[in-house]
Structure 1
Amino acid sequence: MDKIETILKNIEPIIMNCRKKTNIPSWQLDDYLQEGMIIALEMYHQLLLDPPDDDFNFYVYFKVRYSCFLIDQYRRNMAVKRKFDQIDYCELSEAFYLFDQNQDVSENVMYNLLCQEIHLLLSPEERELFEALKNGQKIDRNQKFRIKKKIIEYIKRFW
């Protein structure tokens, strides 16, 4: 395997770790990997032109540079002048359709377990209203508020 291929393979865990620490809302996994590889290739070409001292660790330098890049991107995306581009909230009925598209298997399992626990928590009438919300049906806002309050109180016990 070529040296650059080895470097690109070895930086993937660093990219995943930095992704957990700095989550940019509009980015997918491919965006993180692509930007990480671009930065690694730029660093590699710089090192070919100007070799560093003997005790230089490429991966440490990459992690610092990549994490700073992600912080800059996060700040740029979350700037006040770009707030109008962001979603203020996600309607409950919309959130139930999004869960399997952008989440991995473990997140889907946790989501399904939480839904099962919520079903045990709610009364039969509230369960029907909860299912109606999941299906995008309109319900009375007072009933919606009571269900939401009950679910939030349940979740707060674990945080």
Structure 2
Amino acid sequence: MTIAPVAPLVSALLSELDREIELTRRVLERLPETAFDWQPHVRSYTAGQLASHLVDILAWVAPTFAYPEYNMATDGAEGSVPAATRAELLARLTTHGAAARQALAAATPADLAAVWTFRNGEQIVLQQPRAEVVRESFLSHFIHHRAQLTVYLRLLEVPVPALYGPTADEPQGREAVPA
């Protein structure tokens, strides 16, 4: 990946982050609290676990800019504690989204280009420039799990909101989320 000048790159990442947070909010607002313990398969997350993991992905952005690496073996492997309510999920989304936005907005060209390492003991799991980590490991990961959650909604017979275009439940779609 070629690193673009900081202003356009930060602007693009912030725009994408803002849009994806608002799209995710639409999905979370539909998730019934009565379905938090439901899971489509024994090897799948419950809906509450998946939704909690989804919003907690954004909590990883700021530490990626604060530290040069994260080592699961020595820094501890913190997992998502499942939220008990939809309000808690939405509050986490807001809090983690704001922290991610603040870290990105403050990023310098050197911050974005600096290589960040994710390891488990001596094993390097991932080593990339921070700009790539944010885009691939956080934003793409965030979008992936939101897509999984929309499948959960469909299986639960909950109307799936329009995200990038119409759905069977919202054939006209919705107004675009402002960037």
- Alignment TM-score, normalising by the size of structure 2: 0.26
More strand by share: 2
Task: Compare CA radii of gyration and give the structure with the larger one.
Answer: 1
> Larger % of helix: which?
1
Higher relative contact order (CA 8 A, sep 6+): 2
